[in-house]
Amino acid sequence: MNKQEEIAALAILIHDLRKHKKFTLKELADKIERSVGFLSQVERGLSRPTVADLTAISETLGVPTTYFYSLPKPKVLPWVTRPDERRTLYYANGITDILVSPKMRASFSMLESRLEAGANSGERHLSDSSEQGGYVLEGELTLWLDEDDEPVTLLAGDSFQLDSHTRCRYGNLTDQLTRVLWVYT
């Protein structure tokens, strides 16, 4: 799938899940603290959610964030993914997540996040029900945790691990690409 097809697939998944869970646009917008207009644009593929928005949507609708990755291409080996078989989400604010795990229903999932220069997860802190960790492959990743909100900058080769429901946000404060391998339980 190309980028536009991936964005359209995400819009359909969000809309269909919201309808299935019997939420109105207003109810879901209120729960995720966004406007009805914004959520409507996301569901029509006209706007992209931030990482924080999609995490809030998934938590509210009771699914893991990985639910929103589009359908995979058929695989020859079910325990291997090749670059052309990977599912991708294009977020607002310059972040692209690529699901590198071959299985979504395993005890952990792996994502490669690409943060363009100046990219960030959004103004609000994320809170995921999964324990998560990461390894900075390239560039610099800045994390803000809710406890003190002091930024911590991680360089290529650095790693981190966060307990479930740890509130954080992240970004790339440099003018270079940052790549991070995330692991979620």
Q: Which fold has domain 83-184?
A: Jelly Rolls (2.60.120)
Whether 3-68 shares its CATH topology with 83-184 is answered no
Rounded to an integer, what distance in angstroms lies between the CA atom of residue 127 and that of residue 130?
A: 9
For the chain, the domains span 3-68, 83-184
Reported as a single tens digit per residue, the pLDDT across 56-109 is 999 999 888 878 875 555 566 778 888 877 888 889 999 999 989 887 667 888
Helix, strand, coil: what percent of the chain each, to 5? 30, 30, 40
Q: CATH top-level class for 3-68?
A: mainly alpha
Query: What tokens appear for 162 in the block?
Result: 């966060």
Q: Which pLDDT belongs to residue 28?
A: 96
Q: Which pLDDT belongs to residue 124?
A: 84
- Predicted model pTM: 0.72
Q: Which pLDDT belongs to residue 72?
A: 55
Rounded to an integer, what distance in angstroms lies between the CA atom of residue 174 and that of residue 163?
A: 27
Task: Provide the b/e sequence for 142-154 (b: ≥16 CB within 10 Å).
Answer: bbbbeeeeeeeeb
